[in-house]
Amino acid sequence: MGLLEFAKKLEPDKKKSPFLHTVYDGFFTFLFTPNTVTKGGVHVRDAMDLKRTMTFVVLALMLPFVFGAYNIGQQHFMAIGQHTGYYEALHLKLIFGLIKIIPIWVVSMVVGLGIEFYFANRKGHGIEEGFLVTGALIPLIMPPDIPLWILTFSIVFAVILGKEAFGGTGMNIWNIALLSRVFVFFAYPTTISGDTVWVAGFEHLTPGAAVDYGWAEHLFNGLFNAFGWSTFNDSAHITDAFTGATPLGIAAHAGWHEVTEVYSPSQMWWGVIPGSIGETSKPLILIGALVLIITGIASWRIMAGMILGAALVALGLNAWGATPFMEVPWYYQFYMGSFFFAMAFMATDPVTGSNTQRGKWIYGFLIGCIGMVIRVLNPAYPEGWMLAILLLNTFVPLIDYLVVQSNITKRLKRA
């Protein structure tokens, strides 16, 4: 109660300082559940308000976030042939990964929430906290070396044209985090595709290229030396045998056999492979998915429908077998790429996903089908979930409309 009273004393005058009051209101409602009561009619206010819902989603993302920081370091040191064991020099790998991921996270939050604050002040309403989850998702679906200025443009595009133009949080048609990624993909394709963008710490990912630790080497090596730990070595170079290709990139051109020449199924399952920051570790993503299902935030029907759709199409492509990619065993399609991350955190967005129970099955199933078709049959883009989810976001109103009309028709026939 003391903290609550202290927070209330800090409240700026709404008329004299509208912007400061908007900022205060955003942080106050983040810390405390509003105790306002709806008057008139019958309404129920649940303690699980929007901010608490967003907080659970962010907590479910923490394991992929931490593993992503580790994997950035692991892939970097694999490239230079140092500390290649998974448990070797964990301090170097985590520090290196955090140096890469924290600026991306800060830019995502500052730019996105800055736009939210601006529109909240301009429209005279409280801060809509929808970007809390979006700002946590965006760093996890980007490559670790993405230029921050490109990231800034992508967030501005996604938040203004994808959300504010439609009325703000809860009114957007498409998933905002995926809009940010699709902007980078089409505006700066070499930044988010190909073999050279997934391993951080090199200007060019070619054999013999030197590392550049910059200020991190001077800041941390003295500390690590004091503990007798391994230090950053700026004389290291990329080893001749290292390519940086992702399993999907290899499979698209040479099939599953060539993939297993470079990566074992165990490596792909646990996520010690090149890829987007938070999308590689399947078990940790599935733990996050389970948290969202148990808390009632994400729909298990959408997830199950997506798995069924992807498995069915992958089985059909196995039977066709016209290209090496089609011959990848259907169950190993789930080991590569970002299927589980898209299933758990993107397709289940409660704003842009289907709202009817049968519609959720249809929506998830079609994402699985179309995403697998794009992944395997589109030679320019060996991954399909981003485009499939954005496409099905567009058709969500139609899916829900048809489901509701179908129910009305059935009930009229029974009447």
Look at residue 39 and tell me whether its pLDDT is greater than 70.
Answer: no
pLDDT of 252-275, one tens digit each? 888 899 999 999 999 999 999 999
Read off the DSSP letter of residue 48. S
Q: State pTM to two decimals.
A: 0.88
pLDDT of 201-222, one tens digit each? 887 777 778 887 888 888 899 8
User: For residue 41, what pLDDT is reported?
Assistant: 58
Residue pair 73/117 in contact (Cβ under 8 Å)? The answer is: no
Look at residue 40 and tell me whether its pLDDT is greater than 90.
Answer: no
Question: Would you list the DSSP string of 266-303?
Answer: HHHHHT-SSSSTTSS-HHHHHHHHHHHHHTTSS-HHHH
pLDDT of 128-167, one tens digit each? 667 888 999 999 999 998 999 999 999 999 999 998 888 8
Mean per-residue pLDDT, 318-341: 94
User: For residue 38, what pLDDT is reported?
Assistant: 61
Residue pair 294/355 in contact (Cβ under 8 Å)? The answer is: no
CA dist 319 and 21 (Å) reads 62
User: For residue 33, what pLDDT is reported?
Assistant: 63
Per 3-state DSSP, what percentage of the chain is helix, strand, and coil (rounded to 5)?
65, 0, 35
User: For residue 45, what pLDDT is reported?
Assistant: 60
